[in-house]
């Protein structure tokens, strides 16, 4: 397997539990990919995802291997889930603490816009049905339009509204623009603007309110560390600090990997690296039927992110999650998605997990994570020049948000990541949320779980169906593992097993390249 990110580790767990010998080759020195742990002196940070939603999906994967997520990772449900500081064009702010208590959330919304409180409760009811109808599509491979000719797809069609943007769709419910913004900022989880994001993604805010926002103690990287341990318990091998140079072929058949300067032979290869980068850099173009370089380069890609990881002496007066939207939100989105420039008034996000998690910083200190959405590296931005300026601007904004003018004096460590950094780590054009989730790039229009024109070459992760975000990445792993096991006649790997003690490696195992 190429890459020990969450998608690769989930697939590896499922395959290893079916008796398949799994080996994972990871370029970083630690597991997790974009969900790995960063350390700067005594401070620890999540590299990428900090929101954990739908924990039942990952629990399904652990259960399928005879283990339990709840026994291995301590999860804290957050209330408030996050604070929204919604900038207004007049220079003021609406502040909204989001709670999964639906009647209370309706009251908080109504305090800003009276008609929108009852509309929120209607939105929740409608999207509960919408997610129910869409779940069968999210859980199976969509290889061609033929896979959409099913009773499940026909039932879901009326609620998907394919020609409608998320922003327009929310106008069916909410009158106040800032309330619409409060229910659409989640499109940034996909690296998209709500003005172009398809309306079907109204399920994202619903999922937050229905299933909650969770913090794994130790950060989201605690999830991938637990997954890696389970892979190893099941006999899998993880090679960290071992980048893959290319996929090996005999004719159309993937026969292994060149990694760490050596050749490794396997019966199957699963790629969990960034899909666009991996296809272009690891698979010969003549083997990629329908996915040549020109097609990959012609696709639209998500935005990128500018990151600050701050080790701070003392506490920070901010909730666990805070989303601060620009007072000129439309201009900010235009700058990122269309004009390819840095905004004068950027939106940003701050994670302050040390409020409830003592494992990420020394006693009396805080680990602060700051994310600013930016254009990806297709924009003409010199990050060597702009990074220092954006760093100072962002520190000003965070200090203002926290009401802490002396914040800079308490900073003890700073780590900066730019879109150019992401690109250098094998993320195509630094697009941290993969290929954009516009309608022409969804379902069978994304790189498929099994690469056409090849045998034994598979994909998992945010670059394939159903898309980006930890829960759906785990769904992609279930799909790929199921297809691979079907091909080998091993049965469904997603069926739960009774929880048992750690498994011993099998003496007779099918060699599968992972």
pLDDT tens, position by position, 265-319: 999 999 999 999 999 999 999 999 999 999 999 999 999 999 999 999 999 999 9
- CA–CA separation, 347 vs 269, rounded Å? 40
**pLDDT, position 138:** 86
Q: How far lies 54's CA from each of 57, 205, 474, in Å?
A: 6, 12, 10
Asked whether residue 276 is assigned to any structural domain, the reply reads yes
Domain end, chosen from 383, 402, 424, is at 424
- Domain termination site, one of 424, 448, 466: 424
CA-to-CA dists, residue 416 to 189, 322, 344, 362, 391, angstroms: 20, 19, 20, 21, 8
Among 364, 392, 424, identify where a domain stops: 424
| Mean per-residue pLDDT, 462-484 | 94
Instruction: Quickly state the pLDDT bin for 69 (edges 50, 70, 90).
Output: very high
How many domains are contained in the chain? 3
* Same structural domain, 100 and 117: yes
Identify the pLDDT of residue 506. Answer: 37
Residue 235 CA to residue 272 CA, distance in Å, equals 19
When pLDDT is averaged across residues 240-249 and rounded to a whole number, the result is: 97
**129-138, 283-292, 346-355: least confident range:** 129-138
Are 267 and 380 contained in the same domain? Answer: no
Range list of β-strands (E), 50-116: 75-77, 82-87, 93-98
Q: Per-residue pLDDT tens for 29-54?
A: 999 999 999 999 999 999 999 999 99
- Domain extent for 400: 303-424
pLDDT band at 514 (very low <50, low <70, confident <90, very high): low
Assess whether pLDDT exceeds 90 at residue 141.
no
pLDDT at 189: 82
If asked whether residues 420 and 451 sit together in one domain, one would say: no
Residue 365 has pLDDT above 80, yes or no: yes
**Residue 151: what pLDDT?**
65
Asked if 226 and 175 sit in the same domain, the reply is no
| Closest to 216 in 3D by CA, of 399, 87, 112, 76 | 76
| Residue 159 located in a structural domain | yes
Q: What is the per-residue pLDDT for 509?
A: 40
The pTM assigned to this predicted structure is: 0.93
Q: What span, in angstroms and rounded, lies between the C-alpha atoms of 131 and 156? A: 9
Q: What is the CB neighbour count within 10 angstroms for residue 386?
A: 18
> Is 139 part of a structural domain of the chain?
yes
Q: What is the pLDDT of residues 413-462, one digit of tens each?
A: 999 999 999 999 999 999 999 999 888 888 888 999 999 989 999 999 99
Q: How far apart are alpha carbons 469 and 432 in whole angstroms?
A: 11
Domain assignment of residue 490, yes or no: yes
Gyration radius of the chain over CA positions: 22
1 located within any domain: no
Task: Measure Cα distances from 142 to 112, 338, 444 in Å.
Answer: 42, 30, 5
Q: Within this chain, do residues 419 and 309 fall inside the same structural domain, yes or no?
A: yes
Strand pairing partners for 214?
Answer: 52, 77
Write down the pLDDT at residue 162: 73
Indicate whether 258 pLDDT > 90. yes
pLDDT, mean over the chain? 93
Same domain, 249 and 319: no
The pLDDT of residue 500 is 64
410 and 445 within one domain = no
Q: How open is the CA angle 417-366-353, to the nearest 5 degrees? A: 80
Same domain, 295 and 307: no
Give the residues across from 415 on adjacent strands: 309
pLDDT of 511: 42
> What is the average per-residue pLDDT within 180-195?
89
CA-to-CA dists, residue 51 to 81, 212, 230, 406, angstroms: 9, 10, 22, 28
Average pLDDT over residues 392-413: 97
- pLDDT of amino acid 142: 79
Name beta bridge partners: 83.
97, 322
Residue 508 has pLDDT above 50, yes or no: no
**Strand ranges for 88-161 from DSSP E:** 93-98
- Shared domain for 191 and 114, answered yes or no, is yes
CA separation for the pair 357, 427 (Å, rounded):
30
- Shared domain for 123 and 66, answered yes or no, is no
pLDDT confidence band for 510 (50 / 70 / 90):
very low
Are residues 407 and 498 located together in one domain of the fold?
A: no
CATH number of the domain enclosing 235: 3.50.50.60
**Is the residue at 431 inside a domain?**
no
Is 342 inside a domain boundary?
A: yes
Helix axes 116-138, 102-112, angle to 10 degrees: 130
Are both 13 and 37 inside the same structural domain? yes
What is the structure's pLDDT at 154?
Answer: 66
Percent of the chain whose predicted confidence (pLDDT) is above 70: 96
433: in domain: no
Q: Which residues of 290-320 are buried (b: 16+ CB within 10 A; e: fewer)?
A: ebeeeebeebebbbbbbbbbbbbeebbebbb
| Rounded distance between C-alpha atoms, residue 450 and residue 487, angstroms | 11
Residue 106 scores a pLDDT above 90: yes
Confidence label for 90 from pLDDT (cuts 50, 70 and 90):
confident
According to DSSP, the residues that pair with 309 across neighbouring strands are 369, 415
Q: Which residue has the higher pLDDT, 439 or 113?
A: 113
What average pLDDT score do residues 112-140 get? Answer: 93
Q: What pLDDT shows up at residue 155?
A: 74
């Amino acid at each position: 397997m190429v890459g020990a990110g969450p998608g690769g580790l989930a697939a590896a767990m499922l395959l290893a539990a079916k008796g398949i010998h799994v080996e994972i080759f990871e370029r970083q020195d630690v597991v997790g990919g974009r969900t790995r742990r960063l350390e700067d002196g005594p401070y620890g940070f999540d590299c990428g995802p900090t929101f954990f939603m739908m924990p039942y999906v990952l629990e399904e994967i652990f259960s399928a291997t005879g283990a339990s997520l709840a026994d291995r990772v301590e999860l804290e449900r957050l209330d408030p889930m996050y604070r929204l500081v919604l900038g207004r064009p007049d220079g003021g702010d609406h502040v909204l603490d989001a709670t999964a208590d639906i009647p209370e959330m309706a009251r908080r919304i109504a305090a800003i816009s009276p008609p929108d409180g009852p509309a929120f409760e209607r939105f929740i009811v409608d999207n509960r049905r919408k997610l129910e109808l869409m779940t069968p599509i999210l859980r199976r491979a969509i290889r061609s339009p033929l896979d959409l000719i099913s009773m499940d797809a026909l039932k879901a069609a009326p609620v998907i509204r394919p020609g409608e943007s998320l922003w327009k769709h929310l106008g069916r419910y909410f009158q106040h623009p800032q309330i619409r913004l409060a229910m659409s900022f989640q499109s940034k989880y996909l690296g998209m603007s709500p003005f172009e994001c398809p309306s079907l993604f109204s399920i994202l805010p619903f999922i937050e309110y229905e299933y909650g926002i969770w913090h794994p103690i130790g950060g989201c990287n605690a999830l991938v560390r637990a997954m890696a341990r389970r892979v190893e318990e099941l006999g899998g091998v993880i090679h960290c600090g071992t980048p893959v140079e290319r996929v090996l072929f005999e004719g159309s058949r993937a026969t292994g990997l060149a990694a760490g300067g050596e050749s490794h032979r396997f019966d199957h290869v699963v790629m969990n690296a960034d899909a666009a980068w991996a296809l272009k850099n690891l698979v010969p173009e003549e083997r990629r039927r329908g996915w040549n370089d020109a097609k990959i380069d012609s696709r639209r890609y998500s935005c990128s992110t500018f990151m600050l990881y701050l080790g701070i002496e003392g506490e920070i007066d901010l909730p666990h999650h805070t989303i601060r939207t620009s007072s000129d939100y439309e201009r900010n989105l235009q700058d990122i998605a269309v004009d390819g420039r840095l905004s004068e008034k950027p939106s940003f996000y701050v994670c302050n997990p040390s409020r409830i998690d003592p494992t990420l910083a020394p006693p009396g200190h805080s680990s602060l994570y700051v994310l600013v959405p930016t254009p990806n590296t297709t924009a003409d931005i010199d990050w060597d020049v702009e990074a220092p300026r954006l760093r100072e601007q962002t520190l000003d904004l965070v200090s203002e948000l926290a009401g802490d003018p002396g914040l800079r004096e308490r900073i003890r460590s700073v780590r900066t990541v730019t879109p150019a950094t992401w690109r250098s780590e094998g993320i195509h054009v630094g697009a941290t949320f993969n290929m954009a989730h516009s309608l022409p790039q969804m379902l069978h229009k994304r790189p498929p779980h099994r690469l056409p024109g090849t045998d034994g070459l598979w994909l998992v992760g945010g670059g394939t169906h159903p898309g980006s975000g930890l829960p759906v990445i785990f769904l992609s792993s279930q799909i790929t593992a199921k297809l691979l096991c079907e091909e080998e006649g091993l049965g469904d790997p997603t069926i739960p097993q009774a929880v048992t003690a750690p498994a011993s490696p099998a003496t007779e195992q099918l060699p599968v390249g992972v």
